[in-house]
Amino acid sequence: MVYSVVVISLKVAIAASALCLLIGIPLARLMAHRRGFPFRILRVITSLPLILPPTVVGWFLLTVFSSRRPVGQWLESIGFPLVFDWKGAALAAFAGSLPMFLGPVVTAFESVDPNLPAFARTLGLSRIRVFLKVTLPLAAPGIWSGLALAFARSLGDFGASLVVAGNIPQSTQTLSMAIYDAIHDSNESAAWGLIAVSVAIAVAALLIADRQGRRTW
Amino acid sequence: MVIWDIQLRLTHPTLKANITFDHPIVAIMGPSGSGKTSLARCLVGLLRAESSRIAIGDTILEDTERGILIPPDQRGIGYVPQNDLLMPHLSVRDNLTLSPHSMEGGGGVTLEQAIEALELGPLLSRRPSVLSGGERRRVAMGRALLSARRALVLDEPLTGLDDRLRNEVLRYLQRLLHDFPRPTLLITHRADEATALATHGALMEGGVVHETGGIPHVLNNFPGSTDGTMSIMEGTVIATPGSCERDTTTISVGVTHWVATSSIIFREGSTVRIFLDADDVILATSRPTGVSARNVLSVRVVGLELIGGAAIVHLSPDDPQCVFKARITAQSAARFALKIGDEVFALVKSHALRIR
């Protein structure tokens, strides 16, 4: 039981962190240095999961991805159901961790000396290569700390995941849900065991991120 | 054939340039804040002018009338920016090879040649943060050279270095321009750098290019510059130390002979530039006798400027090739009642002449 809970939690946290990298990095690059009205709206929208009750975030996701809705129906038809599936929990965890990820990453992009990428163009590098070879590596320490926060946050996601994916043992039950069950059932030893595992994973993740995120120049 | 064709107009910051040169190595001179860096940024494509035409050789990089605008990554201009801008996260080697052209020897220079010419070998695995100012400058020059398929733009490449390092980097730069010749535009606020590296140039002030031509001509026509009191003349060496048991070098500038002492021995017949500070020239109204000065020239006053309490007297032995300046007090000028056309004698010690 512990094994499946840990595996599901790790799957959820890794998938949510990967989504943060995939969607969060371009989004952060877009938001850096921009102060216009559309970007303020974007900032508010991406910060909402931080303020709203997680159940509300879950409810929004459930509404969009439920099998009764077109998006949900289509996803089900291609064999990618989200509701009552660990992938739904990953999506919910992603929504919750995106604002945590964006904070340090936007700051990291803003702290890159804009003269460096501009100059790199004169060396014959296209915009995309400048981004990959100059901007991204210079922002890497901030991206690592964003990733650590996002991973730790996804690992502990509860409310939103519960609403979207449910608490199905061996299928969608994550560490935080199993801990809730153990407390609910007054199973103190199981609760302590699961808490110890989640603390160990979180500490390991933060230590790795701290090591990787150190500036080496 | 025109090598540099630069026509630019920009309001913010103010920039107005109409320059053409048929010489490969040119200098843009002017005090700081005169818009030289904006000009460089326009050339490499990082700053867009309102109307522009930039061509190097027969390649048009920008032409607003014809809608041509080559992006910075396709211009092939190696650029040494004022503050080096080395990539802090990359080693020296990775900085040098960051340009996709560096590996194919795009500018006629291979990575190995650049490393050797700039003596970068021992630095290759280091990060920029541990390099000294002179080393950083050399890496920036190597990196620019490796991406300079078409031309080089050097923005104040010797600024911010102490005298010893300046001379060291200057030597590397001279060697680079000699060994790997390509159109080069040097931006500097110092006349000595311009004369050491370039043959022709232009002067900028307030974002506007004023005067273009050969370096001596340009500098002599710029009284407002920091070098306004420095006269530069071009001449031919006709006698060197050793020949006829002399200890001096004799240089003919037109029909005038200058006697100078120099630690460098120039070949007879070689062309050199003479630098003369206006403060090192003494004026006399009649031919003096019994003086130690080796240069006593009969000259005519061809120009007279009063700047503060001083008078800058432009002098020439009726030879447009040989024009130089003397700075005397306004009081002396008044005492002599100097006016244009007067004949005077100029006294210059051989030590006061610097030759390059």
Both B210 and B236 in one domain: the answer is no
Contact A122 B75 (CB under 8 A): yes
Asked if the structure places residue B213 within a domain, the reply is yes
The parent domain of residue A187 ranges over: 2-212
Mean pLDDT (chain A, rounded): 93
CATH number at residue A138: 1.10.3720.10
Rg (C-alpha) for chain B, rounded Å, is 23
pLDDT given at position B17: 92
For every residue of B175-223, DSSP letters joined together read: HHHHHS---EEEEES-HHHHHHH-SEEEEEETTEEEEEEEHHHHHHT-T
Nearest-angstrom CA–CA distance, B26 and B2 = 12
pLDDT given at position B214: 87
Q: Give the tens place of pLDDT for each residue, A79-106.
A: 898 899 999 999 999 999 999 999 999 9
- For residue B319 the two structure tokens come to 């030879």
Q: Which residue has the higher pLDDT, B354 or B126?
A: B126
- Tell me the sheet residues that pair with B355: B274
Q: Give the tens place of pLDDT for each residue, B305-324.
A: 877 677 889 999 988 889 99
Both B106 and B176 in one domain: the answer is yes
Contact B127 A217 (CB under 8 A): yes
The residue from B192, B220, B248 where one domain ends is: B220
Region B172-179 average pLDDT: 88
Region B176-185 average pLDDT: 91
Q: Give the tens place of pLDDT for each residue, A147-160.
A: 999 999 999 999 99
Nearest CB to A217 within list B77, B88, B147: B88
Structural domains of chain A, count? 1
Asked if the structure places residue A193 within a domain, the reply is yes
Contact A124 B74 (CB under 8 A): yes
Check pLDDT > 90 for residue B62.
yes
CA distances from A161 to A80, A85, B174, B204 (A): 17, 10, 67, 66
The residue from B170, B198, B220 where one domain ends is: B220
CATH number at residue B271: 2.40.50.100
CA distances from A32 to A27, A38, A105, A115, A126 (A): 9, 13, 9, 15, 20
Asked if the structure places residue B225 within a domain, the reply is no
Both B202 and B270 in one domain: the answer is no
Both B204 and B252 in one domain: the answer is no
Asked if the structure places residue A158 within a domain, the reply is yes
pLDDT given at position B224: 44
Both B97 and B206 in one domain: the answer is yes
Both B239 and B214 in one domain: the answer is no
Q: Give the tens place of pLDDT for each residue, B84-135.
A: 999 999 999 999 999 988 877 666 789 999 999 999 999 999 999 999 999 9
Both B211 and B251 in one domain: the answer is no
Both B321 and B341 in one domain: the answer is yes
Both B239 and B151 in one domain: the answer is no
Nearest-angstrom CA–CA distance, A123 and B72 = 8
Asked if the structure places residue A217 within a domain, the reply is no
Both B289 and B172 in one domain: the answer is no
Query: Is B31 within 8 Å of B208 (Cβ atoms)?
Result: no
Query: Is B151 within 8 Å of B185 (Cβ atoms)?
Result: yes
Structural domains of chain B, count? 2
Which of A111, A119, A135, A136 is the mutation pick for testing B, counting most B CBs within 10 A? A119
Contacts of A122 in chain B (CB under 8 A): 44-46, 72-73, 75, 77-79, 147
Contacts of A129 in chain B (CB under 8 A): 100
Contact B81 A217 (CB under 8 A): no
The parent domain of residue B38 ranges over: 4-220
Both B235 and B203 in one domain: the answer is no
Both B203 and B272 in one domain: the answer is no
- Phi first, then psi, for residue B282 (nearest 5°) are -105, 140
The residue from B220, B245, B270 where one domain ends is: B220
Contacts of A137 in chain B (CB under 8 A): 89-90
pLDDT given at position B244: 63
